[in-house]
Structure 1
Amino acid sequence: MDGGLRSRVLDYLQTHHSMTIASQGEEGVWAAAVFYVNDGFRLYFLSAPTTRHSRNIAWDGRIAITIQEDCADWPQIKGIQAEGLAVEIGGDDERRARELYGAKYPVVGKLAQAPAAIVKALAKVRWYRFEPERLFFIDNSAGFGRRDAIDCRS
């Protein structure tokens, strides 16, 4: 894999905060935005298990995600598209996710100092891990329709 591409994608993941999840479940397809944190290409997020996207992940963990810029001109389009498997996590994996999440989002990492509404909300969530199989980095500033692929399974 191109080391420069890998580095650009990891930098992009570090400097962005929200991703859109596309999932499929008994009620059909659904998209939802969540905050994430990355550990390499592995992404962690949290959500209430009652949300439609969480129910969909429990039904079928295969999802797609996007992370992108909010821009008004085609040459500015830049972002990530990926497909893979999302699962609810616990144990050591959850502890790692909480640690990373707290470093990126200090209000979550310092629960003793967090507003009561945040503490109450976090008591109701589950933690999830997304393992991309394939990831595409889109960068129209490098050429219209520029899309470089990374096979995350290797």
Structure 2
Amino acid sequence: MTGHPWLAEPMPAGRLPRERLEERILNLLASQNMCVLATTGDDGPLATPVRYYSLGFAVMFTASPKSPKMRNIAADPRVSVGIFAPLTGLASSRGAQLFGRARVLAADDADRARYWAAFRWENEHAEQGRSVAEPPRDTLIVIEPDRIVYTEHWLRREGFAARQFWRRPPHD
């Protein structure tokens, strides 16, 4: 006897409607604040835990321009980001892998203001003893994913596959 019979084989293969999948992805991105950023450089792969903020499907963070992840992004902007909710068992397994290109937005970049609206920079300034009256000039890295692999085992209860796939529409 299993505690969650819907987790037993065979696994369902149903696909969530796009609107429901997008809602679940956006909920995950908004409810978490840590990710693992994967980059590649001369020394091979690098997986870095990073505190992030989200705006729609975009994830963003600041980084020191001289950090290993920034060197890797400069050499190859293709990245993968792993985001996951706390796990208490297979039934609670929920996470996403985002794939895209990292954009480095300097302080004078025209796109920067749109992203800063969702970035709670005041928290970071307070932690660092910096003035919360003065907006940051830190380097901002933004990843607008081209595709997302979303995993949620709870979906199996409704006959959907635990792993779902999202792609950015061509016109975005």
| TM-score, normalised via structure 2 length | 0.75
Q: Determine if contact 1:41/1:152 at 8 Å carries over to the other structure.
A: no
Contact 1:19 1:67 in 2 (8 A): yes
TM-fit CA distance, 1:94? 2.1
C-alpha separation in 1, matches of 2:92 and 2:146:
26
Once the two structures are TM-superposed, the CA of residue 72 in structure 1 deviates from its matched residue by: 3.9
SS of the equivalent of 2:114 reads helix
1:153 Cα shift? 4.1
Question: Relative to structure 1, is the Cα distance of residues 14 and 59 closer, same or farther in structure 2, using a 3 angstrom cutoff?
Answer: same
User: Matched residue of 1:119: which SS?
Assistant: coil
Q: Percent of counterpart pairs with the same letter?
A: 22
SS in 1 for 2:96: strand
Tell me if 1:119 matches 2:130.
Answer: yes
Q: Aligned letter for 1:150?
A: W
Aligned to 1:60: 76
Q: Which runs of 5+ in 2 are unaligned?
A: 1-16
RMSD: 2.4
Which amino acid letter does the alignment assign opposite residue 21 of structure 1?
A: L
Paired residues in the alignment total 146
More helix per residue: 1
- The answer for unaligned runs of 5 or more in structure 1 is none
Alignment-mate amino acid for residue 42 of structure 2 = E
Work out which of the residue numbers 52, 56, 81 in structure 2 matches 1:40: 56
Higher strand share: 1
Distance 1:31 1:63 in 2: 10
Whether the 8 Å contact between 1:58 and 1:87 is mirrored in structure 2 is no
Which protein shows a greater Rg? 2
Q: How much has 1:47 moved relative to structure 2?
A: 0.9
Structure 1 residues 106 and 15: alpha-carbon distance in aligned structure 2, compared to 1, 3 A threshold: farther
Equivalent residues of 1:66, 1:81 under 8 A apart? yes
What residue in structure 1 maps to residue 114 of structure 2?
96
Pairwise CA distance, 1:92: 2.8
The within-5 A match list for 1:2-151 is 2-90=18-106, 91-102=109-120, 106-108=122-124, 111=125, 114-115=126-127, 117-119=128-130, 125-143=138-156, 146-151=162-167
Quote the Cα distance in structure 2 between the aligned partners of 1:42 and 1:83. 11
DSSP 3-state at the match of 2:86: coil
For 2:129 and 2:58, how far apart are their aligned partners in 1?
25
C-alpha distance in 2 between matches for 1:124 and 1:39:
19
Query: Deviation digits for residues 50-97 of structure 1, max 9, x if unmatched?
Result: 211111111100011110023242222111111110021132322222
